[in-house]
């Protein structure tokens, strides 16, 4: 579960693999989202307080797209 670091509102349900902190969210691993990800493709904002949480980037190495998270802007919790 990924939530906003400012207002604690739920943002997305993400399937994380491995240990360590969450630095980026790959689009194919987002299970459920409170935000319409197709409406605002460049940024990920909190649905409650409208603060920017991440920026969308294209990763050349894995040939995929992901959201690069801003440090301390999100909280992650294991379900």
Hey, how many other C-beta atoms are within 10 angstroms of the C-beta on 55? 14
- Is it the case that residue 41 has pLDDT exceeding 80? no
- Is it the case that residue 38 has pLDDT exceeding 80? no
Please give the helix or strand (H or E) that residue 74 lies within, else none: strand 74-76
Residues near 46 by beta carbon (within 8 Å), at least 6 away in sequence: 4, 6, 7, 9, 11, 53
- The domain of 11 spans 2-76
- Is it the case that residue 69 has pLDDT exceeding 70? yes
Q: What percent of the chain has pLDDT over 70?
A: 99
Residue-level pLDDT at 32: 92
Strand order in the sheet with 64-69: 24-26, 64-69, 52-59, 43-45
């Amino acid at each position: 579960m990924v939530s906003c670091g400012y207002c604690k509102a739920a943002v997305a349900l993400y399937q994380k693999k491995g240990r360590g902190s969450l630095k980026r969210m790959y689009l194919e691993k987002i299970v459920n989202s409170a935000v319409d990800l197709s409406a605002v493709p460049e940024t990920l904002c909190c649905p409650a307080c409208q603060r920017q949480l991440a920026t969308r980037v294209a990763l050349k190495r894995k040939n995929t797209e992901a959201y690069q998270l801003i440090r301390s802007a999100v909280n992650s919790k294991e379900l």
